[in-house]
Amino acid sequence: MLLISCPYCETERPEIEFRHAGQAHVARAADPSAVSDEAWTEFLYFRDNVKGLAYERWRHVYGCGRFFNCARDTVSDKIFATYKAGEPRPNVETEAAP
């Protein structure tokens, strides 16, 4: 069970209050009809599926209901930072190195 700090509620809550929502910072094209099939396929389905430091979205479904982002190591499951949607990804590379 992860303990996740919601950046909106500013409290640390158990994982079951949240829902994982996949890779973060996947931007939807402003004009989907203008992008190629390949780019649209990448957007819809292809993911980095990183082993190591990953940036991902979570939603505090049983709290404030808002989406936010999280930097987590997918091997140790250690969470380095959570931050609000729209904020740039924090630089935690140095911390994540073994």
Site string for other proteins, 76-95 (x = CB under 8 A): xx------------------
| Best CA proximity match to 29, nearest among 17, 42, 20 | 42
Q: Find the shortest distance in angstroms from Cβ 4 to other proteins.
A: 10
Q: Are 83 and 68 in contact (CB under 8 A)?
A: yes
Check residue 18 and give left, alpha or beta (phi > 0: left; psi -120 to 50: alpha).
Answer: beta
By CB under 8 A, residue 12 contacts other proteins: no
Q: How far is the CB of 77 from other proteins (least distance, A)?
A: 5
Query: Site size for other proteins, by CB under 8 A?
Result: 27
